[in-house]
Amino acid sequence: MHQLGNDPAIAAIGLGSNLGDSRAILAAAVSALNATAGIQVLARSHWYRTQPIGPPQPDYLNGCALLQTTHSPLSLLDILLTVESQFGRVRTERWGARSLDLDLLLYADQILSTPTLDLPHPRLRERAFVLVPLAEIAPDSIEPVTGLAIADLASRVNWSGIRQCPN
């Protein structure tokens, strides 16, 4: 059973897909999250076509969403992993191709390190494919480790290879 708290928090997630009908999978994943008790999708970025990191594979569609949630960070992570598996995600290769990837990027202003979850996401500050869509929907949100706004972090990364798709 997923843990529900009393006070809602704002969380940012990254979404990605490069197997199957990525656009349909990402849209369905956002809908599935919005239909989950204790989660309301507040905003979603455009989708962006991005070059993969890791082994040779197709380009990704990436985006971000802001959620209002009454779930704890670890409970929200469990929900994200469940949704991934519902859409055929099988973890076989680090940074390999996937039907759906959901990453918990930020949860309010929390800094957290557990064996299964680090907040903010440990590679958030270096990944344009996350920062560009996140800056679209939450430019003034503060990354709690650096104290910098997401828009500032996005301005510091290389945007080459990232192309906004029409919605």
- Clarify whether 91 is annotated catalytic: no
Catalytic residue (one of 89, 118, 125, 140): 89
| Residue 102, H or E segment | strand 101-107
Catalytic residue (one of 21, 49, 101, 127): 101
Residues 105/134, Cβ–Cβ less than 8 Å: yes
Q: At what angle do helices 22-34 and 73-86 cross, to 10 degrees?
A: 140
- Clarify whether 78 is annotated catalytic: no
- Clarify whether 98 is annotated catalytic: yes
- Clarify whether 89 is annotated catalytic: yes
Catalytic residue (one of 78, 91, 103, 123): 103
Catalytic residue (one of 98, 123, 152, 156): 98
| Residue 67, H or E segment | strand 60-71
- C-alpha dihedral (99, 164, 31, 37), degrees to nearest 10: 100
- Cite the active site residues: 89, 98, 101, 103
